[in-house]
């Protein structure tokens, strides 16, 4: 049995190398190549979310992606690194001050969350705004990313994603023409604001590990919870 196992293992290795060589020969575009470094300018494909998830285990590569995004003017941040706040330990975090939009406050984010937000904003959020209003989002309102607490503040629950700065709670948006859109007030209306919120949320599901909105439960009636845990969880 051991010989058979080793034989099939060799076949898999050789096959994998052959496949990689074939892909290289075919010059697969970066956005479709799961082995190519991620760049925020890449158009989203079926491997984008997988590549974003991998950044959690590749801190140096993640910071390289973020640095390139800063050089391109897509994000303004400062490196915090590893730190402990209260009982919560944060790893590879940055303080995001600005992206392609203004925020009501700067916020802490793990490197993968910062990269994911920047890609979602460019390829999802602004696309939704343009498709509905023909305008861009210029400001995002939020209620924070980091909070050293358990889920729903329950004493015996596991730590929230917010305890590790891996989630971002967005409450509203402002367009270039001054139009203000709020999740609490506009989600259920039958107008352009509601259409935009639904499209923006659907777009978020393609980037973040989990996206929880007003239809998930009452606790999320006023915001989108955009987090890194899980894979393609959209509720």
What pLDDT is attached to residue 7? 42
List the alpha helices (DSSP H) in 72-136.
Answer: 111-120, 126-133
H helix or E strand, kind and range, residue 82: strand 76-85
Least confident range of 2-6, 43-47, 98-102: 2-6
Q: Is the per-residue pLDDT at 14 higher than 50?
A: no
Show the domain range for 112: 41-234
What pLDDT is attached to residue 3? 44
CA 83 to chain centre: 22
Q: 28 in a domain, yes or no?
A: no
Give, rounded to a whole angstrom, the gap between the first and last alpha carbons of the chain.
45
Q: 221 in a domain, yes or no?
A: yes
Q: How many domains does the structure of the chain reveal?
A: 1
Least confident range of 5-9, 138-142, 189-193, 207-211: 5-9
When mean pLDDT is compared over 51-55, 79-83, 161-165, 203-207, the highest value belongs to 203-207
The better pLDDT of the pair 28, 115 is held by: 115
pTM for the model: 0.85
What pLDDT is attached to residue 203? 97
Q: 21 in a domain, yes or no?
A: no
Confidence of residue 153 (pLDDT cuts 50, 70, 90): low
What pLDDT is attached to residue 157? 64
- Segment 95-118, tens digit of pLDDT: 999 999 999 999 999 999 999 999
Cα–Cα distance, 221 to 194 (Å, whole number): 13
Looking up tokens 């973020």, which residue turns up? 66
- Segment 47-105, tens digit of pLDDT: 999 999 999 899 999 999 999 999 999 999 999 989 998 889 999 999 999 999 999 99
Q: 12 in a domain, yes or no?
A: no
Q: 140 in a domain, yes or no?
A: yes
Q: What is the CATH number of the domain that holds 62?
A: 3.30.1380
Region of 165 please: left (phi>0), alpha (psi -120 to 50) or beta. left
Sign of the CA dihedral running 61, 57, 121, 85: negative
What is the maximal distance between C-alpha atoms in the chain? 69
Q: What is the rounded average pLDDT of the residues 127-148?
A: 96
Q: 172 in a domain, yes or no?
A: yes
What pLDDT is attached to residue 24? 52
Proportion of the chain above pLDDT 90, given as a percent? 69
Region of 151 please: left (phi>0), alpha (psi -120 to 50) or beta. beta
Q: 115 in a domain, yes or no?
A: yes
Cα–Cα distance, 82 to 12 (Å, whole number): 38
Q: 10 in a domain, yes or no?
A: no
């Amino acid at each position: 049995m051991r010989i058979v196992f080793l034989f099939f293992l060799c076949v898999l290795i050789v096959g994998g190398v052959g496949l990689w060589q074939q892909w290289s020969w075919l010059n697969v575009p970066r956005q479709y190549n799961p082995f190519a470094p991620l760049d925020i300018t890449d158009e989203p494909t079926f491997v984008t979310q997988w590549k974003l998830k991998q950044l959690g285990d590749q801190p140096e590569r993640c910071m390289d992606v973020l640095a390139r995004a800063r050089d391109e003017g897509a994000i303004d941040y400062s490196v915090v690194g590893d730190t402990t706040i209260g009982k919560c330990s944060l790893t590879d975090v940055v303080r995001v001050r600005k992206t392609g939009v203004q925020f009501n406050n700067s916020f802490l984010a793990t490197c993968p969350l910062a990269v994911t937000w920047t890609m979602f904003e460019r390829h999802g959020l602004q696309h939704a705004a343009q498709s509905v209003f023909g305008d861009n989002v210029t400001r995002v309102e939020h209620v924070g990313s980091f909070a050293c607490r358990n889920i729903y503040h329950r004493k015996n629950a596991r730590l929230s994603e917010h305890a590790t700065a891996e989630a971002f709670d967005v409450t509203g948006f402002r367009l270039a023409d001054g139009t203000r859109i709020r999740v609490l007030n506009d989600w259920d209306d039958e107008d352009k604001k509601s259409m935009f919120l639904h499209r923006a949320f659907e777009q978020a599901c393609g980037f973040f590990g989990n996206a929880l909105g007003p239809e998930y439960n009452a606790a999320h009636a006023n915001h989108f919870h955009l987090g890194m845990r899980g894979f393609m969880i959209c509720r």
